[in-house]
Amino acid sequence: MKRRITLIPGDGIGPEVSLAARRCVEATGVEVQWEVVHAGADIMEKKGTPLPDEVLESIRRNKIAIKGPVTTPIGSGFRSVNVALRKELDLYACYRPCKLYPGVRSPFQAIDLIVVRENTEDLYAGIEFESGSPEAKTLVEKIKELNPKAKFHPEPAISIKPISRFATERIVRFAFETAVKNNRKKVTAVHKANIMKCTDGLFLQVAREVAKKYEGKIQFDDRIVDNMCMQLVQKPNDYDVLVLPNLYGDIVSDLCAGLIGGLGIAPGANIGEGAALFEATHGSAPKYKGLNKANPTAMILSAVLMLRHLGEAKPADQLENAVATVLKEGKSVTYDLKADRNDPTAVGTSQMADAIIKALIR
């Protein structure tokens, strides 16, 4: 039976790395009917929206999608397509395995962490008020009325950080279930509850409550986010599954990607009850657009996660092994995986995909 999968190529390096992933999936022999739909900066020019309705409709219909990165203008312009997709489809769990493959340069050995990031609330909720706007002024007055101790400098811009029991409970449960399914030993909740006693305090309290249900099966501890960052670069092997609110999850995911060889390697998935969307941790790296230079590994490993999610365990393992073989050989890899970034033996995006396909068929 052919699988119907939504494919969103994205922009920047997105189309190149997603084509590499598509070719690799096809080489596994899993039969796929790709439904290609477009989101991001390029379609914005044509259709006046970076997220046309047909994208959401296609994902809702197929329940499974793979997506290249999409550019989000900084400071102004349209809001993030990525955030909109996660919110619209309630893809509440961001799952990012960070595994160090032999052959990839890193000061560490045998890292195998899983980052679970909450995807729907926190400072990412997009509830923001511009400096000097009437809404920001009204909000400041209201806050002063509710909390007379609150002090503001003139005309602040304001972002709201909602953290709920509902969203925390389901993400922490997801993290524990991930630990159980993957034979992991420990879940660590990451927070700043010492300072943000209401929001992060609730996150920690709910995490402790959920952890009790797994007592005797999965260990639980917690770390303050700044200390967590230091510990991850000093002794990453002390950690196993991390669960974080949205913003810390975003930042710590990139930190963990750095531990395992960089953003070119780190895959990811956004999972909800009704749909799952697979995408690399990295962004659209606009400076490499169209240069056949970007590393396709993160996108190909995201496709591996997708195949596992579809129940195609054997082709998924075969594709992951092929990626591991090419990384270990270290020959047909992109510039970012070479000791010297100007190494003339580095290959392009499509050539690295060719090498992975060859290793798959060998």
The residue ranges that bind ligand NAD (CB under 6 A) are: 13, 17, 69-72, 82, 263-264, 279, 282-285, 288, 294-295, 298, 336
If the CB atoms of residues 189 and 265 are measured against ligand NAD, the closer one turns out to be 265
Closest CA to 13 of 298, 362, 309, 237: 298
If the CB atoms of residues 214 and 278 are measured against ligand NAD, the closer one turns out to be 278
- Is 226 noted as a catalytic residue in this protein? yes
If the CB atoms of residues 17 and 27 are measured against ligand NAD, the closer one turns out to be 17
Six-digit token pair at 356?
Answer: 């992975």
Residues 12 and 69: beta-carbon distance below 8 Å: yes
Single out the catalytic residue among 101, 124, 288, 335.
Answer: 124
If the CB atoms of residues 97 and 220 are measured against ligand NAD, the closer one turns out to be 97
Taking the complex as a whole, how short is the minimal distance between the CB of residue 175 and ligand NAD, in angstroms? 20
Helix extents (H) in 33-117: 41-47, 53-62, 81-88
If the CB atoms of residues 99 and 184 are measured against ligand NAD, the closer one turns out to be 99
3-state secondary structure at position 208: helix
Six-digit token pair at 154?
Answer: 């003139």
Taking the complex as a whole, how short is the minimal distance between the CB of residue 80 and ligand NAD, in angstroms? 6
Single out the catalytic residue among 142, 197, 217, 226.
Answer: 226
Single out the catalytic residue among 95, 250, 293, 335.
Answer: 250
- Is 161 noted as a catalytic residue in this protein? no
Single out the catalytic residue among 42, 92, 101, 192.
Answer: 192
61 C-beta neighbours (distance < 10 Å), count: 11
Residues 155 and 132: beta-carbon distance below 8 Å: yes
- Is 200 noted as a catalytic residue in this protein? no
- Is 250 noted as a catalytic residue in this protein? yes
Q: Compute the Cα dihedral for 332, 233, 108, 249 and give only its sign.
A: negative
β pairing state of 128-129 and 219-224: unpaired
Helix extents (H) in the chain: 14-27, 41-47, 53-62, 81-88, 134-146, 165-181, 199-212, 225-234, 246-259, 297-309, 313-329, 349-361
Close Cβ partners of 208 (under 8 Å, ≥ 6 residues apart): 189, 220, 222
* Active site members: 124, 192, 226, 250
